[in-house]
């Protein structure tokens, strides 16, 4: 890349960065120790990229400089040793093209520049496509939820549809963000289906479900005899997915030591099996998904900032169902059609009072919760309409408000099925942020009591 400006007040660090860039064939137009000096240099020679230290000498910070660079449409990468939450939040508002944490390897710097260049050019292409006079891409088709589509007509969902269309044809890494049950895996399926890699493997890994001690072997494989019990050579998921796509679901649960190994694999595009001496080239597209706030995880020291920016090339935020309630009738119709087919039923719809209650409900479990609720309601329906429905927030009066003709045992089965579905949704986490008790609006002790009372035998604390 031509014309890189370094803004760094530590002369030794600036010198090392310059040497690394020039050795790699990049042209450095200068080094500025203050934001003020950097701005004056930008007016003389427009850089193609600026490396910005956040904390600089002088009255302006690197974040102040970044805001001015945005006005000039000049891409920049932050370089900083500070990754506390307040700094991250302030830095995030300036939309950087990367963030490198000191100390860093030369390889990390060069890869970050390549990613920044790609993101900048990709954004320009996306802006060009969306500019007036540019042909509009064909609308996203409404396809079955259980196939790999996504249903909705709300403004927030149309935005998601558009983002999926934009990114699917490229090999760009995608980060799917959103609460549990919003459809992150459904979006990942659609991106894979619409990509040029759709005839190659698509391997899904739930990072929360793989024991930390087995994760490296599961990801990267091992050689025979690499450790006790390694009776044979094993190929890891990255090797098996060659030429295809990997979904790293619940990536916020990944241990830090595996995060470091994953980062190097993504940067260097090669893996090494445990116990092996050979580096194996790997070509995979990464789709990562999480319901966690990764910025808060970074600030708490549980997620690597450099990995975050390596994955954060194209983020898609999936809205919770409570923000797209106009889509609920569409979703209900779809689920009824689907379960009529699989159950041999002939439900024609829901009564208006039932629909209104569904529209008024807050949906902490999002689309997945709605899906489970419609499924159970179809099972319990006495004729061709869903005329009664029991919402989870009605648990204190569950029996009193039971639909006419349903036995107490049937009502208990509805409650049991719903609790099990929420437990599965939360990976059987009871308490804490995102736990089943929170989604069910219960105290953890109350949920434990219910689990015992209604006889849920197999679950994990």
Q: How confident is the model at residue 217 (pLDDT cuts 50, 70, 90)?
A: very high
pLDDT over threshold 90, residue 92: no
Once rounded to an integer, what is the mean pLDDT over residues 140-147? 40
Are the CB atoms for 256 and 298 separated by under 8 Å?
Answer: no
Of 109, 54, 123, nearest in space to 315 by CA: 123
216 lies in some domain: yes
pLDDT of residue 83: 61
Q: Tell me, what's the pLDDT at 147? A: 46
Same domain, 187 and 299: yes
Identify the three-state secondary structure at position 334: helix
Residue 141 has a pLDDT of: 43
Claim: this prediction has a pTM higher than 0.75: no
In a domain, 376, yes or no: yes
Does residue 90 share a domain with residue 32? yes
- Predicted local confidence at residue 347, as pLDDT: 94
Looking at the fold, whether 204 and 338 belong to one and the same domain comes out as no
Q: Is the pLDDT of residue 414 over 80?
A: no
Residue 110 within any structural domain of the chain: yes
Reply yes or no on whether the pLDDT at 461 is more than 70.
no
| Overall number of domains in the chain | 3
Query: Last residue of a domain, which of 92, 124, 156?
Result: 124
pLDDT of residue 316: 93
Any domain includes 129:
no
Residue 357 lies in a domain: yes
Residue 364 — very low, low, confident or very high, per pLDDT cuts 50/70/90?
confident
Which CATH number belongs to the domain containing residue 48 in this structure?
A: 3.40.50.2300
Parent domain of 416: 322-453
Confirm whether 336 is domain-assigned. yes
Sign of dihedral through CA atoms 10, 12, 17, 21? positive
Does residue 144 surpass a pLDDT of 70?
Answer: no
Residues 432 and 352 reside in one and the same domain: yes
Q: Predicted confidence band at 6 (pLDDT cuts at 50, 70, 90)?
A: very high
Q: Is residue 311 located within the same domain as residue 336?
A: no
pLDDT greater than 80 at residue 404: no
116 and 224 fall within a common domain:
no
The string of pLDDT tens digits covering residues 100-118 is: 877 787 877 887 888 788 7
Q: What is the pLDDT of residue 132?
A: 58
Percentage of the chain lying above the pLDDT 70 cut: 87
Q: Per the omega criterion (within 30 degrees of 0), is the bond before 239 cis?
A: no
Q: Where are the beta strands (DSSP E) in 132-269?
A: 174-177, 202-206, 245-249
Average confidence score pLDDT of the chain? 83
Tell whether the model's pLDDT for residue 148 goes beyond 50. Answer: no
The CATH number assigned to the domain holding 329 equals 1.10.8.60
- Whether 459 is covered by a domain: the verdict is no
Average pLDDT estimate for 224-253 = 92
Q: Residue 60: what pLDDT?
A: 92
Q: Is the model's pLDDT at 409 over the cut of 70?
A: no
pLDDT recorded at residue 457: 59
Phi and psi dihedrals of 151, rounded to 5? Answer: -115, 135
88 versus 43: which is more confidently predicted? Answer: 43
Indicate the pairing of strand 4-7 with strand 280-281.
unpaired
Listed ranges 148-162, 265-279, 393-407; the one with the highest mean pLDDT: 265-279
pLDDT digits (tens, 9 = 90+) for 446-460: 787 778 777 775 543
Residue 245's pLDDT band (boundaries 50, 70, 90)? very high
Count Cβ neighbours within 10 Å for each residue of 2-34 and write b for 16 or more, e otherwise: eebbbbbbbeebbeebbebbeeeebebbbbbbb
Q: Are residues 313 and 409 in the same domain?
A: no
Q: Of 81, 97, 124, which residue sits at a domain end?
A: 124
Q: Do 376 and 407 fall within a single domain?
A: yes
Instruction: Identify whether residues 73 and 186 lie together within a single domain.
Output: no
Nearest of 460, 453, 364 to residue 416 by alpha carbon? 453
Residue with tokens 């089943």: 436
Domain termination residue (choose one: 319, 352, 375): 319
Give me the mean pLDDT over the 27-40 stretch: 95
User: If pLDDT is split at 50, 70 and 90, which confidence band does 405 have?
Assistant: very low
Given pLDDT bands bounded at 50, 70 and 90, which one contains residue 397? Answer: very low
Q: Is residue 435 part of a domain?
A: yes
Within this chain, do residues 86 and 18 fall inside the same structural domain, yes or no?
yes
Q: Which helix (H) or strand (E) is 297 found in, with range?
A: helix 294-299
The predicted pLDDT at position 74 comes to 95
Q: Do 432 and 383 reside in the same domain of the chain?
A: yes
- Domain co-membership, 100 together with 202: no
CATH number at residue 173: 3.40.50.300
In terms of average pLDDT, the best of 86-90, 268-272, 395-399, 442-446 is: 268-272
């Amino acid at each position: 890349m031509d014309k890189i400006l370094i803004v760094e007040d530590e002369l030794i660090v600036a010198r090392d960065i310059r040497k690394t860039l020039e050795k790699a064939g990049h042209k450095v137009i200068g080094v500025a120790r203050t934001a003020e000096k950097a701005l004056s240099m930008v007016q003389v020679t427009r850089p193609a990229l600026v490396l910005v230290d956040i904390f600089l000498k002088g009255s302006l910070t690197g974040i102040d400089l970044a805001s001015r660079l945005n006005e000039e449409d000049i891409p920049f990468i932050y370089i900083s040793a500070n990754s506390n939450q307040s700094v991250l939040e302030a830095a995030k508002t300036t939309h950087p093209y990367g963030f490198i944490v000191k100390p860093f390897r030369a390889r990390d710097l060069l890869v970050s520049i390549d990613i920044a260049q790609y993101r900048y050019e990709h954004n320009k292409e996306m802006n060009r496509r969306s500019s007036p006079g540019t042909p509009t891409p064909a609308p996203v088709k409404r396809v079955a939820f259980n196939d790999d589509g996504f249903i909705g007509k709300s403004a927030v969902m149309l935005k998601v549809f558009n983002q999926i269309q934009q990114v699917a044809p490229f090999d760009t890494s995608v980060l799917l963000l959103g609460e549990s049950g919003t459809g992150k895996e459904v979006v990942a399926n659609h991106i894979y289906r619409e990509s040029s890699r759709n005839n190659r493997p698509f391997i899904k890994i739930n990072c929360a479900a793989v024991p930390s001690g087995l994760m490296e072997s599961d990801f990267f494989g091992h050689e025979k005899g690499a450790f006790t019990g390694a009776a044979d050579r094993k190929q890891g998921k990255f090797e098996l997915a060659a030429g295809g796509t990997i979904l790293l679901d619940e990536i916020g649960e990944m241990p830090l030591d595996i995060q470091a190994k994953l980062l190097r694999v993504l940067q260097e595009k090669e893996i090494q099996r445990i116990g092996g001496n050979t580096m194996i080239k790997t070509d995979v597209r990464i789709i990562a998904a999480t319901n966690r706030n990764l910025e808060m995880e970074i600030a708490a020291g549980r997620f690597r900032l450099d990995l975050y920016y390596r994955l954060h090339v194209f983020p898609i935020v999936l809205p919770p169902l409570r923000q797209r309630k106009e889509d609920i009738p569409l979703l209900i119709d779809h689920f009824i059609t689907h379960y009529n087919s699989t159950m041999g039923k002939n439900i024609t719809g829901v009564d208006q009072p039932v629909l209104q209650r569904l529209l008024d409900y807050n949906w902490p479990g999002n689309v997945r919760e709605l899906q489970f609720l419609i499924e159970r309601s179809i099972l319990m329906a006495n004729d061709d309409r869903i005329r009664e429905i029991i919402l989870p927030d009605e648990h204190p009066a569950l029996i009193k408000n039971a639909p006419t003709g349903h036995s107490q045992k049937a009502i208990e089965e509805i409650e049991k099925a719903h609790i099990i579905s929420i437990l599965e949704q939360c990976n059987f986490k009871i308490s804490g942020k995102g736990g089943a008790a929170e989604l069910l609006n219960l105290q953890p002790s109350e949920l434990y009591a219910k689990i015992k009372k209604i006889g849920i035998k197999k679950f994990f604390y």
